Structure 1
Amino acid sequence: MSRLLKPYPMRSSPLFQTSLLPWLHLLLGWMLLCLCGAAQAAPAAVALREGSSRLALAGHYEIFEDPSRTLTAAQVDESTYGWTTQRHVLNLGHSTSAWWLRLRVANPESAAITRILDLQNPRLDDIEFNLIRPGQPRQSIHTGDRLPYGTRAIQYHGFAFPITLAPGESAQVLIRLDSHDGYFGLLPMALLSEPVFQQDTQRHTLLCGLYYGALLILLLYHLCLLGSTRDAAFAWYVCYLGFLVATRFAMEGHASQYFTALPPDWINQGLLLCYSMSAVLFGLMLMSNLKTLLVQHPWLQRTCWAVLALNAVPLPMALMGSYSGTLKLAMPATMLSIAFVMGMSVWAWRVGMRHTRYFLAGSTCMLTGLLAERLRLESALPDHPLLAYGVAIGSVLEALFIAIALAEGMNRMKADKLHAEQQAREAQALLNDELGRLVQERTLELESANQRLTTLSITDELTGAYNRRHFQEQLAERIAQARRSDDAIGLCLFDLDHFKGYNDRYGHPAGDEVLRRVSSTVSRHLKRSVDRLYRVGGEEFALLISSADHTLGDRFIEELRTSIHALGLPHERNEGGVVTASFGLAWCSDVARAQIDAESLYRAADEMLYQAKALGRNRVESSEVAPRPPSARRA
């Protein structure tokens, strides 16, 4: 049977192979002698007194290592030496050996006394408790986290064993600790009176209930937010809280206490899965909150995925139920992740993502809780009740800070959305203004185009005068208007004299030019908007005139004839040798009484035109269309 302390091999170096080597051998031998002497000095029995309600066992028990895992309680009881520790917490860590603890207790009081030996570690896989009294049968209890809950001596979330001694009686306690896969963890032990044990149990249950309640309230609240927002960050946070509660519920032993129907192996395996999944979900939640930053920096996104993959590595070990292997991989990954989250939160905070400061605060609280609880177990900090729940307090604060970060992130997203909507509205307003301007421009262009099309549809292409179709429409409209308003109306028809001979002599291009010159000359004399020039045939034109005085109208037509003659356009086949025109003018002073229509007025003006040609051309002939007698109107 070997000792707990084993000599560690020293690294060989040139310094150790010189003259210092004999002195180091001498110093090492003296230290081993001192250690052996300390190991052989068995601690005195622990006196159970009425006034001592809580007794820490540091330095009061002996430790034996069983590498073969075959020692029995009788063999350990007969052993005369062991190793003691003055540390408040026994740290067995990872080991393939079984371990024995031997404790001597005595009752110097005059009355029977009972104390509860609380191992204060609900994750011990295999425990064999032996109470040996002189002259009495050995009392043995075999329990553990891997055994059914009914094997426990006290219905408790952890492992506690009652020790009752009669007055003046002494006994020896032997505890064998074994592990499923080599992980033992920390073992803070204490002897408590029954009232103190009940008080500690109630306080622990109350604090754990507050812890679970706080996390579950956060979970339900953010589950409602998830239902309304459909935000992936809330989904990851809700899942993270669920796995965090499940991890702590199993780690504190409450899963074994309240779900006794479940096989113990399932609970242990579920603990490992929940622990690993909570780390992975935390990473996904962080990435979801920093997706804007990750999109801007692809290398940071790749780093986050690498850290997330590192936290996912323990999952296969957890599925295989390897507690020791999972923790060996998960603990370094967790510490690295916390450091990475803190560093990335600081950087994101500095670049303007102010809500990441809450991730920094949450990670700091979690790290502080871990360190505080660990330092308390290492006796570096006082044994204060709050420090015993450092991890729980740190995780609650972390969850609260993350909730605040999510809320601020959501508010920031709302603000960004409102800002984007405002910019969109402004852009839409500008676009609408621009669109309105373009529509107005296009409308004006379309109206202009329509106007041009309309003008082209009623205009003669060669001369620019109105065409025959528009003349017919205007003639009928002007007659109807004159009939309603009892106004006079005049129609003048004129054509160029011997124009066919002009085309034969000078050619059609020259004839077209004459037509344009004549049309332009006549149009310049038309000052009123109601007086219009129409081309109704090849060289035949028409004028619609409104004048109450026929004499003035006749004089105006005469001026037109004179202006055409004054152009002096050569025409060898016409009298006078220049281009001239003949005019026929028909007036109607009383359209209603005359019962005249467009055809009648046109026929009258045409008769006057033929009369002007018959009388020698280059002249104006006019006539008044007389009203019809009543008998003719009746007929």
Structure 2
Amino acid sequence: MTRPFPHLPSALAAWLLLACLLASPARAALDVADPFDGLNLGPQVQLLEDVDREFTIADLLSRDDDLPWRSSEQETLNFSFSDSAWWLQVELVNASEAPLRRLLELAMPLHDYLDAWVVDEGGEVVAEWQTGNRRAFDTRPVAHRTFVLPIVLPPGETRRVILRLDTHDGLFDATPLYLLSDASFLQKAQRELMAFSLYFGALLALMIFNLLLFLAIRERSLLHYVVYLGTFFVLMFAARGFAYQYWWPNWPTFNNQMLPLTIGLFAVTLASFSSSYLNLRRHAPRLSWGLHGVAGLCLASALPALQGHYAPVFRVMIPAAILLSLLMLSVAVWRSWLGDRLAQIFLVAWCVLLVGIALYFLRVAGVLPYNVFTEYAVQAGSGIEFLLLAFGLAYKINLLKNEKLAAERATHELQRSHNQRLEAEVDERTRELEAANQRLAAMARTDPLTGLLNRRQFHELVDAELLQRRRSGRALLFAVMDIDAFKAYNDTYGHQAGDEVLRRVSALLQQHFRRAGDRLFRLGGEEFGLLLEVDTLDQGRHVMEAFRQSLEDLAIPHVQAEGGVVTASFGLVCCNDFQRVPDAERLYREADEAMYQAKDRNRNRVMTRAILGET
């Protein structure tokens, strides 16, 4: 064995060797024997920055004690923009009596180059891999969207794991590093696959549904939404490593070009959709052009990726994306302030997505740490955003439908009016006759003063109701109401005031009796008829008393009345003997007699009468 310092005395060499050993960070082997669920290696590894990219695995194994290794202490390794290569190492020990297998996962699918070695206690390399996002997918020892390395540890032995991380042109993404057992990795992979399946399935379902809806109604905003959603789908599918695994596993260069280009296309489709959704070409055409201009800058900044330049792409794209986001936010706030409901929905949806995108890009830039919130913020925010935008599109389609119907009605009215003017001389008498017929039809049904059904309708509707009740066996309740001393009121206050009292009484009737089966009639003068949707005499008396009290509480002055205010007398009939009451006229007479009994008893009261057959 060669002495480390051959030209120095033995004692001095020993002291220098001890100083070098003390200066190097101590490597404590991690025990990975069972039970073992998983471990975040981020804070456990040692780091070595290879500024000139000059080290090889042989250099590390021969000059290990001379190299400036340092402890990581990062939960997630993040080198952001760096021109260096980075070496990582960690020692694993199997303290059990059985061989073990552990899976080391570099949980970042976009990492460019990953070289890995497993070194035994004698310093020999027992396993090595060269893989990464810029190498063919089949270089990965485990077919997975991220990088998974199987490490075998014999019983009672230690293995040193060395990783070399490098990039194409200096853009590192945050690098989570986990050590997992087979079972814990399978559980983690299944959870992630389930979550992403639900996420991408929901996006795909939204995209197909809105595409079919566009084909059905041809609303352009739907097409913009489908293209916007489709671009985002491809972007997320590529960013999470699924596109490289399933779509183009043998095209690493194309895979790396797709990500920045899809981001640029996403910016353009976002601007187009937003302009269409908010109708900016009509409300603010200059803002629409501004949005497309900034989106075009995002797309143009992605073009250098076609020549293999990626770090400059994101140095320009991130500020451009922030500018686009702020511009979109400003437009949405402005339109929302003006009361645009579509813009308000868009603002909420956009804010949710903005938060997710901001968290993700701040994590990429190294400002925020890697965690479940920053890593999956875009997925969570985008899922909520797309659902809200789908709701907004449905709302917009409904608005457009109403506007179209209104326009069609206006056009129809204009055409009808035009035709009427052209045929005025020929059709004048016909039009007058039609107008008279319409007025007669309305008068035939309703009382022109009160708007209530008239006496003719009373006979038709009550006769039909009696027939129906005769078949069902249900009791029918009908009341006649007569305003007390109404002639004296007209004599005192005049007929115009009397008409106003009739209108107020009618309005109060419509306010009180609003059930589906209630029917209100003006039978003549100050007399009204009420067909009630109740089943018992007690219920009918209760609702009539409530109305009688409400009428008295109106406190309409009437100096000739006993109480000084307008009141009414009521006769209420409950009938299920339809042999004795065969038609509306007989029912009216029964209720009218009960009403006159109320008049005879000092008015302002409800008198009831039951006409019941044998049960």
Aligned to 1:145: 133
Deviation at 1:427, TM superposition (A): 2.8
Out of 304, 310, 322, the position equivalent to 2:297 is 310
What SS class does the counterpart of residue 93 from structure 1 fall into? Answer: coil
In structure 2, what is the equivalent of residue 53 of structure 1?
37
Deviation (angstroms), 1:336: 2.5
**Superposition deviation, residue 440 in structure 1:** 7.5
Give, as a single letter, the amino acid of the residue that structure 1 aligns with 2:74: R
* Alignment partners' CA distance in 1, 2:406 and 2:21: 77
Matched residue, 1:105: 92
Give the SS at the match of 2:351. helix
Q: Which residue of 2 aligns with 1:585?
A: none
C-alpha distance 243-96 of structure 1, shift in aligned 2 (>3 A) = same
C-alpha contact (below 8 Å) 1:183/1:323 kept by paired residues: yes
**Aligned partner letter, 1:403:** A
Per-residue Cα deviation, 1:145-204 (whole angstroms, up to 9, x for no partner): 111111111111110111221222112111111111221111011111110101111111
Residue deviations 1:391-443, cap 9 Å, x none? Answer: 212222222122222221111111111222222233333333433347789xx
User: Where does residue 124 of structure 1 map in the other structure?
Assistant: 111
76-85 vs 214-223, greater mean Cα deviation = 76-85
- The normalised TM-score by structure 2 is 0.61
In the alignment, the residues of structure 1 paired with residue 184 and residue 394 of structure 2 have an alpha-carbon distance, to the nearest angstrom, of 43
Distance 1:276 1:414 in 2: 34
What is the match of residue 549 of structure 1? none
Structure 2 residue 228 is matched with structure 1 residue 240: yes
Structure 1 residue 380: Cα displacement: 7.1
Deviation at 1:387, TM superposition (A): 6.2
Structure-1 separation of matches of 2:51 and 2:232: 36
Identity of aligned residues (%): 32
Deviation digits for residues 307-357 of structure 1 (CA, Å, limit 9, x no counterpart):
222322224223334332322222222232223222211221222321222
Q: 1:79 aligns with which of 64, 73, 84?
A: 64
Who is 1:89 aligned against? 76
5 Å matches for 1:230-269? 230-259=218-247, 262-269=250-257
Matched residue count? 404
Secondary structure of 1:306's partner? helix
Question: Counterpart of 2:46?
Answer: 62
Matched, 1:197 2:220: no
Output the CA distance in 2 between the equivalents of 1:214 and 1:255: 17
Checking the alignment, whether the CA contact within 8 Å between 1:148 and 1:260 is kept in structure 2 is no
Contact 1:87-1:379 within 8 A present in 2 as well: no
2: CA distance, partners of 1:76 / 1:118: 22
Alpha-carbon distance between aligned partners in 1 of 2:87 and 2:222, rounded to the nearest angstrom:
48
> 1:633 maps to which residue?
none
Task: Letter of the 2:336 partner, please give it.
Answer: W
The TM-score with structure 1 as length reference comes to 0.59
Could you tell me which residue of structure 1 aligns to residue 270 of structure 2?
282
Q: Which one-letter code corresponds to 2:51 in the other structure? A: P
Query: 1:55/1:234 Cα in 2 relative to 1: closer, same or farther (>3 Å)?
Result: same
Match of 1:175 in 2: 163
Instruction: Mark the CA change 1:185 to 1:387 in structure 2 (over 3 Å): closer, same or farther.
Output: closer
State the one-letter code of the partner of 2:77: L
Unaligned runs of 5+ in 2: 1-19, 429-615
Q: Distance in 2 between matches of 1:382 and 1:113?
A: 29
Is the Cα contact below 8 Å between 1:129 and 1:173 reproduced in 2?
Answer: yes
Secondary structure of the structure 2 residue equivalent to 1:63: strand
CA contact (8 A) 2:248 2:255 kept: no
Kindly report which structure 2 residues correspond to 1:429-578, keeping only aligned pairs within 5 A, or say none.
429-437=416-424
Tell me the secondary structure at the aligned position of residue 187 of structure 1: coil
Amino acid at match of 1:417: K
Task: Tell whether 2:187 aligns with 1:209.
Answer: no
Specify the alignment match of 2:488 in structure 1.
none
CA contact (8 A) 1:39 1:83 kept: no
Gaps of 5+ in 1: 1-35, 442-635
Supply the AA of the counterpart residue of 1:121.
M
Q: Give yes or no for contact 2:261–2:299 (8 Å, CA) kept in 1.
A: no
For residue 388 of structure 1, report the CA deviation from its aligned partner.
4.5
| Residues 217, 148 of structure 1: alpha-carbon distance in 2 compared, 3 angstrom cutoff | same
Tell me how far apart the structure 2 counterparts of residues 374 and 261 of structure 1 sit (CA, whole Å). Answer: 26
Counterpart of 1:322 in structure 2: which amino acid?
H
Return the alpha-carbon distance in structure 2 between the equivalents of residues 315 and 59 of structure 1: 34
